[in-house]
Amino acid sequence: MVMALEGIKVIDLSRLAPGPYCGMILGDLGAEVIRVEAMDKRARAEGVLGLSDELAEMLRAFNPQGRNKRSIVIDLRKEEGREVFMRLARDADVIIEEFRPGVVKRLGIDYEAVREVNPEIIYCSITGYGQTGPYAQMPGHDLNYIAMAGALGVIKDERGKPVFPSNLLADMAAGGMHAALCILAALVARSLHGVGQYVDCAMTDGVVSLMHMEPILRHTSGLRGLPYYDVFETADGKWFSVGNVEPWLWENFCRALGREDLIPMQREVDRYDDLRAELRAIFKQRSRDEWFEFFKDKDVCAAPVHEVEEAERDPHLREREMFIELEHEKFGKITQVGISMKLSRTPGRVRFPGCGPGRHTDEVLAELGYNEAEIGELRERGAVA
């Protein structure tokens, strides 16, 4: 069965989180993704993370961001390495990079240079603050971007201290997923209008977009502080989420508990502390999983707070194939996250797990027209590995 992006060729220069996740999405949808990796291990993800060779190999096997991608190692600082890259770019559809603004231009592989050999290229740069603006050259990570965009200011604990929600918002949503959306839009535009283009994808911009409702709600509490939209500790010390915002769902919830006297309290703001105390006492009466079994068929918004390993075992997520098993040549069966985009006619597929750096260097070079002697010469000169 054909896949949605079958026939699309992507060159992935990225290294940490946003770009590799973007490439994963495109690869899952059928694109041919070639990962161009740095010659120096310290510049690759495992070097940045300080991993040993053994741990790096294991990470690449289990990390879904490397799947469906072939790997070639090129030294882009060498003229011969840049020539290899430009040969790759000549018949590519998409290039993804996440260097600091100006780096690809200094290397001679920026959008303008690539457009000279491939006018229809879609060239996506993923950065923290974008290519323009006073913060463009500042380094940063997810925490900094969500702080700048205002997201961290609305995620606080009971003392008012901002709480960091892992690196989900900027890196994954506003970075990788946002970039994939931009690239897909550019591919549609090219198919309709015949033009390639440059995509300036800033993670901070993406977080601001995710925050689009906050300016409207800034004079209200929004959903924060509502006792009927909260998490409660259960008898076994675990947590359970309740989100019955709509009056009819709140009524269903209260009737299921046999506490119809709580129904009017949803509208009585001055009694919210009392309502929260009542709910805390109620949820202490059963375990988290007992509460979920109780509420599953009551037509209410209620769900257990799972740890990651518990989510992997959840029967609904398993049936939805959100956790899948792959066969790895060294590590045997490995579990990875599945494909969230469920397309009926052109479904995505995980074809192979991630591999070591340079695994496909010779194969890719041969496809570009280099013969064995030329490949050997490139390797001797340190242009590829």
Residue 300's nearest CA partner among 229, 235, 236 is: 229
- Give the integer Cα–Cα distance in Å for 113 and 198: 12
Which strands make up the sheet holding 94-97, listed edge to edge? Answer: 69-73, 32-37, 9-12, 94-97, 122-127, 197-202
The tokens for 154 are: 């609305």
- Give the integer Cα–Cα distance in Å for 93 and 189: 13
- Give the integer Cα–Cα distance in Å for 47 and 155: 32
Considering the candidates 93, 171, 178, 205, report the single residue annotated as catalytic.
171
Considering the candidates 141, 230, 306, 362, report the single residue annotated as catalytic.
141
In the block, tokens 């956790």 appear at: 323
- Give the integer Cα–Cα distance in Å for 235 and 246: 27
219 within 8 A of 199, measured Cβ to Cβ: no
Q: How are beta strands 239-243 and 302-304 bridged, if at all?
A: antiparallel
Residues 267, 273, 275, CA angle at the centre, nearest 5°? 60
Residue 57's nearest CA partner among 334, 308, 324, 312 is: 334
Is 270 noted as a catalytic residue in this protein? no
Please enumerate, as own/partner, the contacts of 269-273 that have beta carbons within 8 Å and a separation of 24 or more: 272/225, 272/226, 272/227
115 within 8 A of 173, measured Cβ to Cβ: no
Cα Rg of the chain (Å, integer): 25
In the block, tokens 């609904």 appear at: 316
The tokens for 368 are: 């570009």
Is 141 noted as a catalytic residue in this protein? yes
Which residues have a catalytic role annotated? Answer: 141, 171
